[in-house]
Amino acid sequence: MKTASLLASLTSSIALASAARLPVLPPGGLNVNGTPPVYHPLSDFDFQSFNLALNQEWIELDLFRFGRERFSDEDFHNAGLTDDDINLIGFMAQQEVAHGQLFTNMIGPDRAAKPCKYQYPFDNVRDFFEFSQRVTRFGEAGTLGFLEHLNSRDGAQMILQTITTESRQQMAFRQLEGLHPMPVDFQTGITQSMHWTLLAPYITECPAENPRIEWMNFPGLNITNAPNATEFFDPSNNTSTNDTSSSSGNSTSSGNNTTLDTTPAITHDRSEPLTSPGREILLSWELPGKTVGYNNSYTTNTTAGPGKFVAWISQLNTTYTPLTDVNGTTGKTVQPDLGTTFGLNNTSTVVNSTMFVLITDANVTVTPANMTMLDPHVVAGPAIYTVG
Ligand SMILES: *[C@@H]1O[C@H](CO)[C@@H](O)[C@H](O)[C@H]1NC(C)=O
Ligand SMILES: *[C@@H]1O[C@H](CO)[C@@H](O)[C@H](O)[C@H]1NC(C)=O
Ligand SMILES: *[C@@H]1O[C@H](CO)[C@@H](O)[C@H](O)[C@H]1NC(C)=O
Ligand SMILES: *[C@@H]1O[C@H](CO)[C@@H](O)[C@H](O)[C@H]1NC(C)=O
Ligand SMILES: *[C@@H]1O[C@H](CO)[C@@H](O)[C@H](O)[C@H]1NC(C)=O
Ligand SMILES: *[C@@H]1O[C@H](CO)[C@@H](O)[C@H](O)[C@H]1NC(C)=O
Ligand SMILES: *[C@@H]1O[C@H](CO)[C@@H](O)[C@H](O)[C@H]1NC(C)=O
Ligand SMILES: *[C@@H]1O[C@H](CO)[C@@H](O)[C@H](O)[C@H]1NC(C)=O
Ligand SMILES: *[C@@H]1O[C@H](CO)[C@@H](O)[C@H](O)[C@H]1NC(C)=O
Ligand SMILES: *[C@@H]1O[C@H](CO)[C@@H](O)[C@H](O)[C@H]1NC(C)=O
Ligand SMILES: *[C@@H]1O[C@H](CO)[C@@H](O)[C@H](O)[C@H]1NC(C)=O
Ligand SMILES: *[C@@H]1O[C@H](CO)[C@@H](O)[C@H](O)[C@H]1NC(C)=O
């Protein structure tokens, strides 16, 4: 309700100011002439983007609350957290209440989706963080992917101010997990269908009146040898022990080696990433026609031909590696080395943090603002691959 009145007061104050004009105002710009903003979807594309985003808000609210309640304070302490850290998780759940309210107000309470029932693949604190950093990452990436394409620029403004907070949540989960908070120069965007493909498996049941989510569900993709920070964490002594970063997959025990540390922290330099270029990646994907999402009401599908490439979406880049050793619905590829962004002299390589990995039938050139051109070529995926 707070948000509703905020929107109303913003609208009226801007309408009142419509006659006023600054003496200095460069020509151009959109919606700077005092026209009252309209914080609602202006097209089906907008509605379905908002609808997807609201479903994302509801799972985050449920997930943060569930994690906070599921584990005892002692469980959190054993994972290296303080009471302040634990309270942060509760605070993030409250932020989701506000985000859900914002989208409900913009969509209108009659059409806005209600919270659903969910299933989560974790039963310890570290895996809760790992799952949460993935969920907040695909929520963030899905939103960054559609903002620019909305008809409602005013709605986009509200969503931008929402996703900025969610990006901070994502970073906080990385910190709770002991990963480098943001080892990239640019955060990645993906399409709504990629987002919905990643989200759908975790929603089990929704109220019948919830509006259908009208985006594609692509066939699922698994990276069968994907590492995650939890595997590098040894709770018995609160130290990360394993280094599988070499391309051979060789493990070396490292005791107190901070370059490998994944204990909770504002940051670890972690100059040894979880994975490195040249690493062989084992892939396994599903055929279309599988029932996914809530109430058994969605089916995976694709318009692509046979898989030939593996797409790696990261930062401002989408690159491809060949899909090799294809046998039915399994295959291999190799983690690419794209150097640093713009070839600059820094330690932030393009392939770092979260990669969105897909099987495609073509290596079409796409950049962040025309990512939807990739959708027709998706055979399966995305899968999330955490480089570091
Ligand atoms: C991360 O690795 C741990 C340990 O192997 C596993 O239990 C967990 O399911 C993994 N998390 C994800 C999201 O894959
Ligand atoms: C470290 O690697 C060894 C050998 O691969 C494995 O047995 C052990 O469970 C790993 N430890 C952790 C904490 O992941
Ligand atoms: C692991 O490292 C050892 C010693 O460097 C090497 O002999 C062995 O071949 C490596 N194993 C794999 C699977 O690459
Ligand atoms: C932590 O435990 C691992 C194996 O469980 C061991 O290799 C390592 O030395 C220990 N580290 C410390 C600091 O005790
Ligand atoms: C490992 O680091 C911890 C905390 O920094 C320190 O107390 C401990 O002595 C170190 N252990 C070794 C073996 O260096
Ligand atoms: C930490 O581990 C990395 C990778 O195995 C190694 O290059 C580095 O020398 C180690 N540092 C220390 C202090 O042991
Ligand atoms: C990822 O970025 C971190 C921080 O800049 C860096 O230490 C690490 O080596 C990078 N990883 C890769 C695979 O480039
Ligand atoms: C992918 O992994 C999930 C969860 O582990 C599993 O249920 C599913 O069968 C796997 N699918 C493929 C194609 O490997
Ligand atoms: C996939 O979409 C095509 C074209 O819309 C349709 O003909 C086909 O039946 C769909 N397949 C599945 C499994 O839903
Ligand atoms: C392909 O997969 C099947 C079933 O998993 C297996 O029996 C067969 O050996 C594989 N073929 C090759 C060439 O690896
Ligand atoms: C994208 O990747 C290419 C290498 O494939 C690299 O040359 C270029 O600098 C990258 N662009 C950005 C913006 O990171
Ligand atoms: C690149 O960065 C390193 C480390 O900051 C610095 O030592 C080196 O001089 C830089 N090289 C160039 C060409 O700027």
What pLDDT digit, counting tens, does each position of 171-217 carry? 999 999 888 899 999 999 999 999 999 999 999 999 999 999 999 99
Distance 237 CA to ligand 4 centre (A): 6
Cβ of 278 closer than 6 Å to ligand 4, yes or no, is no
Tokens (6 digits) for 348: 């932030």
State the span(s) of the chain assigned CATH 1.20.1260: 44-205
Distance 343 CA to ligand 12 centre (A): 13
- pLDDT score for 81: 92
Low-confidence ranges of the chain (pLDDT < 70): 1-19, 230-261, 269-273
Atom of ligand 2 nearest to the CA of 242: 1
Region for 270 from its dihedrals, namely left if φ exceeds 0, alpha if ψ lies in -120 to 50, beta otherwise:
left
Smallest CA separation from ligand 8 atom 4, residue: 222
Query: pTM for the complete prediction?
Result: 0.83
As a whole number of angstroms, the distance between CA 187 and CA 137 comes to 9
- pLDDT score for 57: 98
As a whole number of angstroms, the distance between CA 334 and CA 336 comes to 6
Atom of ligand 10 nearest to the CA of 327: 1
Tokens (6 digits) for 363: 């290596």
Cβ of 327 closer than 6 Å to ligand 10, yes or no, is yes
- pLDDT score for 19: 54
- What string of DSSP letters covers 229-257? GGGGEETTTTEE-EE--STT---EE-TT-
Smallest CA separation from ligand 2 atom 13, residue: 234
Cβ of 341 closer than 6 Å to ligand 11, yes or no, is yes
Please state the separation of Cα 122 from the chain's center in Å: 18
Cβ of 230 closer than 6 Å to ligand 1, yes or no, is yes
Domain 44-205 indexed as CATH 2.60.40: no
Distance 246 CA to ligand 3 centre (A): 10
Cβ of 230 closer than 6 Å to ligand 2, yes or no, is no
**Contact (Cβ atoms closer than 8 angstroms) between residue 270 and residue 179:** yes
Cβ of 236 closer than 6 Å to ligand 4, yes or no, is yes
Atom of ligand 9 nearest to the CA of 288: 13
Smallest CA separation from ligand 4 atom 6, residue: 255
**CA nearest to 358, candidates 341, 337, 333, 339:** 333
- pLDDT score for 244: 36
- pLDDT score for 274: 76
Cβ of 317 closer than 6 Å to ligand 11, yes or no, is yes
Region for 72 from its dihedrals, namely left if φ exceeds 0, alpha if ψ lies in -120 to 50, beta otherwise:
beta
Atom of ligand 5 nearest to the CA of 256: 1
Dihedral (CA of 360, 361, 362, 368) sign: negative
- pLDDT score for 257: 54
**Helices marked H in the chain — which ranges?**
2-16, 44-70, 73-78, 83-107, 125-146, 153-176, 192-199
